[in-house]
Amino acid sequence: MPELPEVETVRRGLVPAMEGRRIEAAAVNRPDLRWPFPPRMAERLSGARVERLRRRSKYILADLDTGETLIIHLGMSGRMQVSGVQIGSFFHPHPAPEKHDHVVLDMEGGARVTFNDARRFGSMDLIATEIAETHPLLAGIGPEPLGNTFDEAYLVARFRGRNTPVKAALLDQKVVAGLGNIYVCEVLNRVGIDPRRKAGRIAAPRVASLVPAVRQVLEEAIAAGGSSLRDYRQADGELGYFQHDFRAYGQEGCPCRTPGCDGTIARIVQSGRSTFYCPRCQR
């Protein structure tokens, strides 16, 4: 599932085609994805102007001049593809319709934004902008890791007394928004913390060291266009390439890249998910 860097990369790719532009026509080609689409979704979107395109955790939010916000979740395989307009160095003409093109937005200025989702684990919903943060998908989500409210004092306080492994604590969206399996593995490798360590038993200075590491990893991943492992594509259809810089995730059997460490990356399973770490330098 796309994590924060992938969703942020898609959001940035959509901005030139959508922000400040009117949706001239919306087509909804099936009744549902993971959940049913909201009533009259095509009608409510058609003619609306996108005033702002933002991100909250792993969700893209399009604030409309109708007073509603379109909430978009890419799910496992969802893609937002832009055609008919220049994005950076790329121009893609409108492609022939595909089987899994579930929502199509024809934008003012000639761009077309197509939501394609082969597995249909994605979702879209409409809610009044003034109460968007109370939507069940968004309510209770923790601070953005690249924002000012996510700082060392906050994380130390949230970890205090927690009996869950540090990896699970960082994956908890109520603690910090948008982190997923890939980037938590990368962060823990960089700071040298064993993913199995109980969050509440890690010394405060080491907990504090996680904050700049989280920001650095996410910023590097965004600059690289995210990580493409299966279905993920940027809005212009290009792959992300941060996967080529992974130090831990998916690197089982490879030498640890931490300077001075002669260990080897290992794989374990935590809560049914793969964790990659170095048993020698992550303690």
DSSP-assigned letters across all residues of 187-249 = HHHHHT--TTSBGGGS-HHHHHHHHHHHHHHHHHHHHTT---SSS---TTSPPP-GGGG-SST
Q: Which of 3, 6, 8, 68 is catalytic?
A: 3
Of 111-120, 134-143, 179-188, 226-235, the least confident: 226-235
Please give the average per-residue pLDDT across 36-52, as a whole number.
98
All domains of the chain in start order, with CATH: 4-134 (3.20.190.10), 152-277 (1.10.8.50)
Strands 266-270 and 79-83: unpaired
CA–CA distance, 38 with 125 (Å, rounded to integer) = 6
2-29 residue pLDDT tens: 889 989 999 998 999 999 999 999 999 9
Whole-number pLDDT of residue 241: 52
Please state the rounded mean pLDDT for residues 250-277. Answer: 96
Say which residues have a Cβ less than 8 Å from residue 56's Cβ, sequence separation at least 6: 133, 138, 141, 144, 177
For the stretch 185-212, what's the b/e string if a residue is b when 16 or more beta carbons lie within 10 angstroms of its beta carbon?
Answer: bbbbbbbbbbbebebeebeeebbbbbbe
Say what the pLDDT of residue 232 is: 47
| Mean pLDDT of the residues in the chain | 92
- Residue 238's pLDDT is 57
For residue 277, give the 3-state DSSP assignment.
strand
pLDDT(122) > 80: yes
Residue 38 DSSP class? P
Q: Can you state the percent helix, strand and coil of the chain, rounding each to 5?
A: 30, 25, 50
Q: Is 58 tagged catalytic? A: yes
In this prediction the pTM is 0.90
pLDDT of the residue at 228? 52
Q: Which two tokens stand for residue 2?
A: 């796309």
Catalytic member of 52, 196, 257, 273: 273
Give me the catalytic one of 21, 56, 58, 112: 58
Instruction: Identify the bridge partners of residue 104 per DSSP, sorted by sequence position.
Output: 27, 114
Evaluate whether 119 touches 77 at the Cβ level (below 8 Å).
Answer: yes
Q: Which 3 state secondary structure label does DSSP give 129?
A: helix
214-263, pLDDT tens digit by residue? 999 999 999 887 775 554 455 555 545 566 789 999 999 999 999 999 99
What mean pLDDT do residues 161-187 have? 96
Q: Give the separation between CA 34 and CA 29, rounded to whole angstroms.
A: 14
Tokens of 224: 């690289």
Q: What is the pLDDT of residue 236?
A: 53
Structure tokens at 268: 């374990």
pLDDT class of 70 with cuts at 50, 70, 90: very high
Tell me, yes or no, if 273 is annotated catalytic: yes
Question: What was the pLDDT predicted at 187?
Answer: 97
Q: Which of 178, 84, 83, 71 is nearest to 135 (CA)?
A: 71
- The candidate with the shortest Cα–Cα distance to 69, out of 93, 44, 98, is 44
Lowest mean pLDDT among 88-92, 106-110, 128-132, 160-164: 88-92
Res. 94: pLDDT tops 90: no
